[in-house]
Structure 1
Amino acid sequence: MLLDHFSMSSFSVALDTLITLNLVHSQPIYECKTYGLKDNKALSDISIELTTDGNIEDIETDKDSVLIICGGFRSALKPEPALNKKIAKAAQSSATIMGLWNGSFYIADSKIKIGESISIHQDNKAIMQERFPALHLSTSAFTEEGSLFTCSGPNTALDMMLHFIKGAYGADCSQAVAEVIGSDRIHKTDNKAANRFLRSDTHTPDCIKDAILLMESNIEDPLSIDELTKLVGISRRQIERLFKINVGVTPARYYMEYRLTRARQLIQQSNLSIFEVSVACGFVSAAHFSRTYHRFFGQPPTDTRRTFQEE
């Protein structure tokens, strides 16, 4: 279920994981279909409109279904009665239900039994606390409550999907999917960066998790490290030290790697020009973006697009 302004990166991770599961399993398990709220289309957070397989009225679920509600940074959080009914019906049929980014809002609004906690993006925590005061909200990693899975953004979507596969189909399947995605979708140069992005460490200090979420939410107009420190309430020296301990790199390096990895995804998965990608990922010029991208990935962005299109 793709909400308007849904996160393309979260959607891509979830879809890629299930398709890869079909490839590594002895036989295909899932048929993947997309749905829009009202029309047979949905607009992503990077202004790419996808034609869907149907609209919300076409959704049918049973005990073997996985219903994924995919939101995004600019998805309007308001009651959607038709969606609430579909979520409630899915819960009654014992289907697996997942919330990506702020898809969790609609799961909570459907009034189904949730359990102890639910994950939500940091930017939506305030409205969730006001709307659902009885819920325990988590903004880090993902949560599992029986057949309900929620995560707060694209960086934890893969963790959540691999965890689901491990529980449903075993550790071997989960590991096989992780290896295929790691070797097939991720360039050797950005493998370490991806491992950092996908880390789900309960021991990481909340201030570092909050800083990372702020970075994720400010790609087109990046925050300075001084602005980050003020927002999370610690000194620059502290954030530098804690990032090195918990993430392995400085916050500036992490931020740059994240923006470059997002740029790589846009180059591979969208029709945006290299200039448009550079703007979307917060670079001052296309030339600066191309030089930085080349140093990090070992090839210019034009070569990345050409190689991906030829595969």
Structure 2
Amino acid sequence: MQTSPSSSQNMQRPLVADDDGVFTVSFLLLPEYAMVSLLSAIEPLRIANRLAGKTLFRWQCFSEDGESVLASNGLALQASIPINTAEKPRNLFVNASFHPEKHLSEQSVKWLRELNRRGSMVGALDTGCYLLAKAKLLDGFPITLHWEAKPSFQERYPELEISDELFEIQGKRVTCAGGTAATDMMLHLIDTYFQSELAILVCEQLIKNTVRNQADPQRISQVEKLKIHHPKIVKALELMASNIESPLTTSELADRLSVSVRHLERLFLQHLSCSPSTHYLRLRVEHARYLLSDSGLSIADIALACGFCSTAHFSRRYRALYGTTASQYRSGIE
């Protein structure tokens, strides 16, 4: 099945084909990687081959030493290919998930830099971009990663351009939020390199009734979760979410919404059964919890990043919401 004239011709084409025209997609598995991301990426390729009646894609997994890698679910696939003894892959995704900074090595960094020099596509699933960032391969590229890891990554690499997209493709850099977004990314690539009808058929085989667009949100919005549709509340929630480090006062929120403080408080009490300040505080403490679990930032730095004037103030608020201290929570997940 050859590429047909369509809008796909204008799409970016990051993958490099083998000499026989087949695209081999490789995955470097880091310990605690998310198996759902790996399988969500591979299955659309397998189905595309079956529906096309020939091999369009191949796939393979790498690890540093060639041994099987334990995923975050406690399972391991068969032994992988050692990175320094095999032919250099032309299309590689680094697949990581929990505690990515614990699993970065100079050996993998050097290997990725060599792939980049050879013109390979070097990408990442979930938090695999931590390894790419350490290798200095993300400068000047828009990237994305799992929403839960974004705050800590942004604190660690403030100079990089990070989006909320499901996936980002620019040149030879392809990053993906992970999870089932890997399926949407692969469907996009199938549509790019082959007929659009093939991507649709693969989507149907996966029991998906739509292919999510690159810009579709990673998360269910607060508005959807809370079933809130009042325009003033919706705007207030958006303002809160985008002003975590430097929180707005209730008066400032009211001014931006062109309502009185009293009216804003009535709206929150009616729709959320709490005051604006109470809801805002909960958002900031929840944001801190993500940073505690996915970043190496100190508790003092996390407190500042979430708009708390002191560590003591943050600790009191954290304990009031979760019933444990921030340090106890971090100790329990390490």
TM-score by length of 1: 0.57
**Deviation per residue, 1:100-119 (Å, 9 max, x gap):** 11111111221125533111
Note if 1:45 corresponds to 2:67. no
Note if 1:34 corresponds to 2:61. yes
Cα distance, 1:15 vs. partner?
Answer: 1.1
Letter in 2 for 1:57: N
Cα distance, 1:177 vs. partner?
Answer: 3.9
Q: Paired residue for 1:180?
A: 202
Choose which of 127, 130, 134 in structure 2 pairs with 1:105.
Answer: 130
Q: Paired residue for 2:42?
A: 15
Q: Paired residue for 1:244?
A: none
Choose which of 118, 121, 145 in structure 2 pairs with 1:120.
Answer: 145
Q: Paired residue for 2:326?
A: none
Residues 237 and 207 from structure 1, CA distance in 2 versus in 1: closer, same or farther, beyond 3 angstroms?
farther
Q: Secondary structure at the match of 1:122?
A: coil
Cα distance, 1:146 vs. partner?
Answer: 0.7
Instruction: Tell me if the contact between 2:31 and 2:103 (Cα under 8 Å) persists in the aligned partners.
Output: no
Q: Paired residue for 2:120?
A: 95
Q: Aligned equivalents of 1:75 and 1:128: distance in 2?
A: 10
Residues 200 and 48 from structure 1, CA distance in 2 versus in 1: closer, same or farther, beyond 3 angstroms?
same
Letter in 2 for 1:138: S
Cα distance, 1:67 vs. partner?
Answer: 0.7
Cα distance, 1:145 vs. partner?
Answer: 1.2
Cα distance, 1:95 vs. partner?
Answer: 1.7
Instruction: Tell me if the contact between 1:2 and 1:71 (Cα under 8 Å) persists in the aligned partners.
Output: yes
Q: Paired residue for 1:297?
A: none
Between Structure 1 and Structure 2, the one with more helix by share is: 1
CA RMSD between the two structures:
3.5
Q: Secondary structure at the match of 2:77?
A: strand
Q: Aligned equivalents of 2:53 and 2:102: distance in 1?
A: 40
Q: Secondary structure at the match of 1:31?
A: strand
Q: Paired residue for 1:66?
A: 91
Residues 142 and 77 from structure 1, CA distance in 2 versus in 1: closer, same or farther, beyond 3 angstroms?
farther
Runs of at least 5 residues in structure 2 that lack an aligned partner in the other structure: 1-27, 229-233, 242-267, 273-334
Residues 210 and 160 from structure 1, CA distance in 2 versus in 1: closer, same or farther, beyond 3 angstroms?
farther
Sequence identity percentage: 22
Note if 1:199 corresponds to 2:212. yes
Pairing of 1:1-311 with structure 2 (within 5 A): 1-25=28-52, 27-61=54-88, 65-112=90-137, 114-167=139-192, 169-170=193-194, 172=195, 174-183=196-205, 185-186=206-207, 191-192=208-209, 195=210, 199-200=212-213, 202=215, 208-209=220-221
| Number of equivalenced pairs | 211
Instruction: Tell me if the contact between 1:19 and 1:30 (Cα under 8 Å) persists in the aligned partners.
Output: yes
Q: Secondary structure at the match of 2:149?
A: helix
Runs of at least 5 residues in structure 1 that lack an aligned partner in the other structure: 216-223, 239-311
Q: Aligned equivalents of 2:108 and 2:170: distance in 1?
A: 20
